[in-house]
Amino acid sequence: MSIAPINGIKIYYEKFGNGSPIIFIHGAYGGIDSSVTPRKNDWVDKLKGSHTVITYDRRSAGRSSYPDEVHSIDILASDLSELINYLELKNPIVIGSSAGGLIALRYAFEFQKNIKKLILVNTSYRMWKNPSRIRASQELIRRHEILEKYGIKKAYDILMNEPAFITFYMSQDDIDKKVSYYSKEEAKKLSNELSIEDTMKYYMGELRNQFAYVDLDYASRLNEIIVDTLVIHGDADVQVPYSLGVELAKGIKGSKFITIPGAGHGLMANNETINNIKEFCGNLDENN
């Protein structure tokens, strides 16, 4: 078990393979599904032969620490920066998937001179500040205010029977169809075995992580990105609509945009995605 003590917390990470480094920032916001159910990183096997691949659990997700404090994109990006420094990674390729994409962007705004390439997968520069999530954003702010006012235990008692956020911006039909890394049956079984303390920890960790994104809109800063960038999006994505991926790519001058036809969310489980990433990563190795 590999732990990096950074920013006053413990960040769990894993390291695979050999070669020029890739650091991967996972999607989702923690919660029981992605924190208790083992994350599927089958794609790592396709890249570890030519690269050192580092995956890590963001704060309040997976096996990392769950600090009882307000989370922000600046803190999440600082965790990434400090982990890169801790592992002494030299000019890594940075891959941000879904919610991890905004962390990758925030890091790149400040440290892109240290990035070899930037890869943004099924993500957006305004994950919650877009027309499809207006109601969800308002609800997110309301729930976070309850957490800040009452603390974890009482807030959990108040919020435990509230509907999932996803129902505020996706239809039930879309929810049933969306691609997920996680087995619902496995997550349900594991969640039933949790203590009430752990259940509260995961629930509030997810809420804190979601709140970090509520006001983000990086439209005005995309022109700062000059590092070689690949944007990949599925044209059947109902969780982060395809149009958001298109506008992201248009905002980053010179970026390469790849559409995965018929693909929904969770593109890191898609073979075509990984083949494109492998090709994009390999090109630089051939040129240097």
What is the SS3 string spanning 92-146? Answer: CEEEEECHHHHHHHHHHHHHHHHCCEEEEECCCCCCCCCHHHHHHHHHHHHHHHH
Assigned token pair, 41: 């990183």
Contacts for 54 with CB less than 8 Å, ≥ 6 apart = 13, 14, 15, 16, 21, 22, 23, 24, 83, 87, 89, 92
What's the number of domains the chain is made of?
A: 1
- Contact present, 206 and 29 (Cβ < 8 Å): yes
- Check residue 102 and give its pLDDT: 98
Contacts for 238 with CB less than 8 Å, ≥ 6 apart = 170, 174, 177, 178, 264, 265
Q: Is residue 182 a part of any domain in this protein?
A: no
Domain range for 118: 2-131+214-287
CATH of the domain at 257: 3.40.50.1820
- Contact present, 212 and 168 (Cβ < 8 Å): no
Does the pLDDT of residue 123 top 60, yes or no?
Answer: yes
Q: Do the strands 93-97 and 117-121 form a parallel or antiparallel pair, or are they unpaired?
A: parallel
Cα torsion 159, 12, 194, 166: sign: positive
Report which of 213, 231, 270, 239 is spatially closest to residue 77, judged by C-alpha positions. Answer: 213
Q: Is residue 30 a part of any domain in this protein?
A: yes
Q: Is residue 122 a part of any domain in this protein?
A: yes
Q: Is residue 56 a part of any domain in this protein?
A: yes
Please write the tens of the pLDDT for every residue from 146-183.
Answer: 999 999 999 999 999 888 877 887 777 776 665 454 45
| DSSP helix/strand/coil, 56 | strand
The stretch 206-223 carries a mean pLDDT of 97
Q: Is residue 9 a part of any domain in this protein?
A: yes
Kindly report the number of other CB atoms within 10 A of residue 249's CB atom.
Answer: 20
Q: Is residue 109 a part of any domain in this protein?
A: yes
Q: Is residue 137 a part of any domain in this protein?
A: no
Contacts for 287 with CB less than 8 Å, ≥ 6 apart = none
Q: How confident is the model at residue 286 (pLDDT cuts 50, 70, 90)?
A: very low
More confident residue, 169 or 6: 6
Q: Is residue 126 a part of any domain in this protein?
A: yes
Q: Supply the pTM of this predicted model.
A: 0.93
- Check residue 287 and give its pLDDT: 39
Share of the chain above pLDDT 70, in %: 90
